[in-house]
A and B are shown apart, each in its own frame.
Chain A
């Protein structure tokens, strides 16, 4: 009877384990292994030692893409998440129309990043784009420019296209706020706390597990960025908007699989590093 139960558990978990082994465990081992190889993906591999890793040191595009990926991650943590928090707090007061706003704000998170990038490509367009036309209409025509074509504005524009689409984190935070015991607010009110003190000193500290989860998710999402630079700038002008995933893709379509996988290892390490930092920050505050 006991053995039969064990066999059942084994058989039920087996498909998921096989899928996980093929698509997560094996690829990571494979990445590590091939990052020490020279390989075009077709011919045979040859051992390259640390050559690929040495190449990283001189690869300015890699430096730029790593920096951009980290900046994108930082803007997720310091702008994206706080904006989501602000909206979540506002809508948690159930201001008239809150359900409508929640529905609308969440919508951009459901559609593909590709479609969003295609749309913003034309919003930023230098000839007839919505942004330039809007600036013209409100008398700020002198600010018009080719937003994605100029070195100084290309990367900020890329980040800005996504930064206000905070709906998914807003909904997550609202869920956490809804679980806060209302009597805590009642006590604060009696003690004479005003609305800002209440939110800053009660809601946000109590929301810490939710914020931690949101920050982790946001960072993971920014590491996956590919569509926006691929569609809107193709990494340009002069690699100004290059991100890690696009750099990996470029190496791959150039059949430098060994180096592509070295970069991939770096992407995973960058992600691991940021996640570790987040964990440390949130643990320290808890203690």
Chain B
């Protein structure tokens, strides 16, 4: 009955025209980059629209060779994983403290949350100097620490939304049973908020994987450079080899596509439940 009331009375045609338009602007660019990445440069100029004459992977081989993409993939993976792990650790601990603590803990929570609205691009100079102070420039740790800090406000918001929902009786009974604060946190709280942790971790990982401006600023050496910076270099260094560049761009999307396919549920439902709660 309820479902029926919300069925569409408007004609389907205008609705699907709108949807098809958005489908085209969203998917066509990706499709074009993918198809073009199999072409030779001359073929791209001659026939920018057509399917590739032969499915040739040589652009990918070339992109990995000249761009040293393998190394950059590893750097990005390292930075994103470690920054996510530390961020989640600190955020879950803080969320638990806010849950247990009094007025001051709440004030600290709301202060940290305001950080979400700070345009972090304004902090180029300070973040550079902080990383320099700790001697981290040109190491992956410069990015690990910076990304962890930048992501902390949003991660805390998402996780506290879940921690707030844990029933008081569960935490109390754990304490009566003799759990100390650390045991309650580790054995009781963390398993209960696992969906929140999963969502927050995915978003922090994607943020770290995709971040560009601080990666550009804090690493200049290939040993620490991330994938995003490496891809951007194709524009200046290999500027006439378009199809190799396309192969490099598409390669950088593959991990995200894989994450999306397997964790889609966590991403969309996490955002859904998180936005209504927060």
CB-nearest residue of chain A relative to B117?
Answer: A220
Q: Is B149 an interface residue (CB 8 A)?
A: yes
Q: Please measure, in the bound complex, the distance between the C-alpha atom of A189 and the C-alpha atom of B7, giving whole angstroms.
A: 12
Q: Is A47 an interface residue (CB 8 A)?
A: no
From known contacts A12-B185, A13-B93, A27-B123, infer whether A121 and B235 are also in contact, taking CB-CB under 8 Å: yes
Please state if A257 and B125 are interface contacts (CB–CB under 8 Å).
yes
Q: Please measure, in the bound complex, the distance between the C-alpha atom of A168 and the C-alpha atom of B111, giving whole angstroms.
A: 25
Q: Is B45 an interface residue (CB 8 A)?
A: yes
Please state if B100 and A9 are interface contacts (CB–CB under 8 Å).
yes
Q: Is A77 an interface residue (CB 8 A)?
A: no
Q: Chain B CB within 10 Å — which of A93, A110, A171, A182 has the most?
A: A110
Please state if A119 and B124 are interface contacts (CB–CB under 8 Å).
no
Please state if B210 and A23 are interface contacts (CB–CB under 8 Å).
no
Q: Is A208 an interface residue (CB 8 A)?
A: no
Please state if A104 and B271 are interface contacts (CB–CB under 8 Å).
no
Q: Is B275 an interface residue (CB 8 A)?
A: yes
Using an 8 Å CB-CB cutoff, how does the interface string of A175-205 with B read, 1 for contact, 0 for none? 1101100100110010000010000000000
Q: Please measure, in the bound complex, the distance between the C-alpha atom of A248 and the C-alpha atom of B130, giving whole angstroms.
A: 17
Q: Please measure, in the bound complex, the distance between the C-alpha atom of A80 and the C-alpha atom of B158, giving whole angstroms.
A: 24
Please state if B10 and A195 are interface contacts (CB–CB under 8 Å).
yes
Q: Is B246 an interface residue (CB 8 A)?
A: yes
Q: Which of A56-64, A126-134, A149-157 lies on the face that meets chain B?
A: A126-134
CB < 8 Å neighbour of A264 from B125, B209, B231: B125
Q: Is A159 an interface residue (CB 8 A)?
A: no
Please state if B210 and A24 are interface contacts (CB–CB under 8 Å).
no
CB < 8 Å neighbour of B148 from A19, A34, A114: A19
Min CB distance B183 to A, Å, is: 11
Please state if B253 and A13 are interface contacts (CB–CB under 8 Å).
no
Q: Is B51 an interface residue (CB 8 A)?
A: no
- Contact residues in B for A230 (Cβ distance below 8 Å): 213
CB < 8 Å neighbour of A118 from B97, B124, B231: B231
From known contacts A113-B212, A175-B272, infer whether A267 and B32 are also in contact, taking CB-CB under 8 Å: no
CB < 8 Å neighbour of A216 from B25, B28, B117: B117
Q: Chain A CB within 10 Å — which of B6, B8, B116 has the most?
A: B6
CB < 8 Å neighbour of B212 from A19, A27, A112: A112
- Contact residues in A for B70 (Cβ distance below 8 Å): none
CB < 8 Å neighbour of A261 from B12, B108, B125, B252: B125
CB < 8 Å neighbour of A260 from B7, B101, B119, B124: B124
Using an 8 Å CB-CB cutoff, how does the interface string of A50-88 with B read, 1 for contact, 0 for none? 000000000000000000000000000000000000110
- Contact residues in B for A175 (Cβ distance below 8 Å): 271-273, 275-276
- Contact residues in B for A123 (Cβ distance below 8 Å): 29, 32
Min CB distance B167 to A, Å, is: 19
Q: Chain A CB within 10 Å — which of B19, B234, B272 has the most?
A: B19
Q: Which positions 123-150 of chain A face chain B at CB distance < 8 Å?
A: 123, 127-130, 133-134, 137
Please count the residue pairs between chain A and chain B whose beta carbons lie under 8 angstroms apart in the complex: 267
Q: Is A206 an interface residue (CB 8 A)?
A: no
Q: Is B58 an interface residue (CB 8 A)?
A: no
- Contact residues in B for A189 (Cβ distance below 8 Å): 5
Min CB distance A93 to B, Å, is: 5
Please state if B32 and A130 are interface contacts (CB–CB under 8 Å).
yes
Please state if A16 and B19 are interface contacts (CB–CB under 8 Å).
no
CB-nearest residue of chain A relative to B19?
Answer: A101
Please state if B181 and A111 are interface contacts (CB–CB under 8 Å).
no
Q: Is B65 an interface residue (CB 8 A)?
A: no
Q: Is A282 an interface residue (CB 8 A)?
A: no
Please state if B120 and A224 are interface contacts (CB–CB under 8 Å).
yes
Using an 8 Å CB-CB cutoff, how does the interface string of B124-155 with A read, 1 for contact, 0 for none? 11111110000000000000001011101100
- Contact residues in B for A95 (Cβ distance below 8 Å): 8, 12, 15-16, 19
Please state if A105 and B22 are interface contacts (CB–CB under 8 Å).
yes
Q: Please measure, in the bound complex, the distance between the C-alpha atom of A23 and the C-alpha atom of B112, giving whole angstroms.
A: 11
Q: Which positions 88-102 of chain B face chain A at CB distance < 8 Å?
A: 89-91, 93-94, 96-98, 100-101
Please state if B245 and A118 are interface contacts (CB–CB under 8 Å).
yes
- Contact residues in B for A36 (Cβ distance below 8 Å): none
Min CB distance A149 to B, Å, is: 15
Q: Is B68 an interface residue (CB 8 A)?
A: no
- Contact residues in B for A226 (Cβ distance below 8 Å): 121, 212-213
Q: Is B122 an interface residue (CB 8 A)?
A: yes
Q: Is A8 an interface residue (CB 8 A)?
A: yes
Please state if A94 and B33 are interface contacts (CB–CB under 8 Å).
no
CB < 8 Å neighbour of B271 from A97, A171, A210: A171
Known: A16-B91, A195-B10, A252-B124. 17 other contacts (CB 8 A): A5-B100, A5-B181, A19-B152, A95-B16, A111-B256, A112-B210, A114-B212, A122-B242, A128-B45, A172-B271, A172-B275, A175-B272, A175-B275, A216-B117, A227-B212, A245-B121, A245-B213
14 contacts across the A-B interface (CB closer than 8 A): A13-B93, A16-B91, A17-B94, A22-B130, A23-B150, A110-B260, A111-B210, A111-B253, A112-B210, A122-B242, A123-B32, A127-B45, A223-B121, A224-B119
Top 3 nearest A-B pairs (CB, nearest first) are A27-B126, A112-B210, A23-B149
